[in-house]
Amino acid sequence: MKRIVRIGRALLLGGLLTELNGQITLIRDSIQMGAGYAKQVYYSLQNGIVDTAPAAGWHLAFEIPIRGAAIRANTAREVIIYRTNRDTSGWNVLSLSDTLERLYDDLCRWEKGALNQTAAPNNPFDVGWGTYNLTTHITTGDSLYIIRLPGGMYKKLWIQRLEGTSYYVRVANLDGSEDTVYQVQKTQASGRNFVYLNLVTKQVLNLEPLSTSWDIVFTPYTAFIPPAGTPYPVIGVLQNIGVKATRIPLPRTANPDTLTIGAYPLDSCISRVGYDWKRFDMTTNSWVLADTVYYLVQDKSRNIWRLRFVGFTGSSTGKAIFEKALLQNASLLHAPTFGKEIKIFPQPAQTGFFILLPHPEEVEICLYTLQGQLLYYSKESAQETFFVARPTMASEGLYILQISSKAGLWRSKVIFE
Give pLDDT tens digits for 305-336: 999 999 999 999 999 999 999 998 887 776 65
Tell me, yes or no, whether 182 and 228 share the same domain: no
Tell me, yes or no, whether 365 and 402 share the same domain: yes
| pLDDT tier, 185 (very low <50, low <70, confident <90, very high otherwise) | very high
Q: Is residue 12 part of a domain?
A: no
pLDDT, residue 42, reads: 98
Q: How many domains are there within the chain?
A: 3
Percent of the chain with pLDDT over 90: 76
- Residue 242's Cβ-side half-sphere holds a number of Cα atoms within 13 Å equal to 11
- From CA 346, how far away is CA 187, in angstroms rounded? 56
pLDDT, residue 384, reads: 86
First to last CA, the chain: 42
Tell me, yes or no, whether 119 and 42 share the same domain: no
Q: Is residue 3 part of a domain?
A: no
Q: Residue 279 belongs to what domain range?
A: 25-54+211-328
Of 270, 300, 328, which residue is a domain's last?
328
Q: Is the pLDDT of residue 275 over 60?
A: yes
Could you tell me if 149 and 202 are in contact, meaning their C-beta atoms sit under 8 angstroms apart?
A: no
Q: Is residue 13 part of a domain?
A: no
Of 328, 358, 385, which residue is a domain's last?
328
pLDDT (tens digit per residue) in 255-272:
898 887 888 999 999 999
Q: Looking at residues 222-236, what average pLDDT do you find?
A: 95
pLDDT, residue 20, reads: 32
Tell me, yes or no, whether 124 and 186 share the same domain: yes
pLDDT, residue 336, reads: 56
- Looking at the DSSP bridge assignments, the partners of residue 132 are 139
Residue 304 makes CB contacts below 8 A (sequence gap 6+) with 261, 296, 297, 298, 326, 327, 328, 330
The alpha helices in 255-310, defined as continuous H runs, are none
Q: Is residue 7 part of a domain?
A: no
DSSP 8-class letter at 240:
P
| pLDDT tier, 339 (very low <50, low <70, confident <90, very high otherwise) | low
| pLDDT tier, 340 (very low <50, low <70, confident <90, very high otherwise) | low
**Residue with more model confidence, 294 or 1:** 294
Tell me, yes or no, whether 313 and 182 share the same domain: no
Domain CATH for 380? 2.60.40.3080
Q: Looking at residues 140-157, what average pLDDT do you find?
A: 97
- From CA 184, how far away is CA 205, in angstroms rounded? 9
Residue 135 makes CB contacts below 8 A (sequence gap 6+) with none
Spell out the long-range contacts of 338-342 with Cβ–Cβ below 8 A and sequence spacing 24 or more: 338/403, 338/405, 338/407, 338/408, 338/409, 338/410, 339/407, 339/408, 340/407, 342/403, 342/410, 342/412
Can you tell me whether residue 386 is helix, strand or coil?
Answer: strand
pLDDT, residue 300, reads: 95
Tell me, yes or no, whether 65 and 201 share the same domain: yes
Q: Is residue 92 part of a domain?
A: yes
pLDDT (tens digit per residue) in 195-218:
999 999 999 999 999 999 999 999
Q: Give the closest residue to 297 by CA, choosing from 256, 333, 261, 255.
A: 261
Cα 51 to chain centroid distance, Å, stands at: 14
Q: Give the closest residue to 366 by CA, choosing from 407, 405, 326, 416.
A: 405
Tell me, yes or no, whether 65 and 191 share the same domain: yes
Q: Is residue 11 part of a domain?
A: no
pLDDT, residue 371, reads: 80
Q: Is the pLDDT of residue 4 over 50?
A: no
Tell me, yes or no, whether 73 and 142 share the same domain: yes
Tell me, yes or no, whether 78 and 144 share the same domain: yes
- From CA 377, how far away is CA 365, in angstroms rounded? 6
Q: Is residue 9 part of a domain?
A: no
Q: Is the pLDDT of residue 10 over 50?
A: no
Tell me, yes or no, whether 74 and 174 share the same domain: yes
pTM (2 d.p.): 0.82
Residue 182 makes CB contacts below 8 A (sequence gap 6+) with 167, 168, 169, 170, 171, 197, 202, 204
- Looking at the DSSP bridge assignments, the partners of residue 375 are none
Q: Is the pLDDT of residue 1 over 80?
A: no
pLDDT (tens digit per residue) in 12-50:
322 333 333 345 789 999 999 999 999 999 999 999 999
Cα 107 to chain centroid distance, Å, stands at: 12
Of 328, 343, 366, which residue is a domain's last?
328
- From CA 290, how far away is CA 280, in angstroms rounded? 11
Q: What share of the chain is helix, strand, coil (3-state, %, to 5)?
A: 10, 50, 40
pLDDT (tens digit per residue) in 70-86:
999 999 999 999 999 99
Number of helices (H) and strands (E) in the chain: give both, helices first.
Answer: 0, 31
pLDDT, residue 96, reads: 97
Tell me, yes or no, whether 68 and 187 share the same domain: yes
Q: Is residue 1 part of a domain?
A: no
Could you tell me if 52 and 42 are in contact, meaning their C-beta atoms sit under 8 angstroms apart?
A: yes
pLDDT, residue 67, reads: 87
Tell me, yes or no, whether 49 and 121 share the same domain: no
Q: Looking at residues 372-389, what average pLDDT do you find?
A: 89
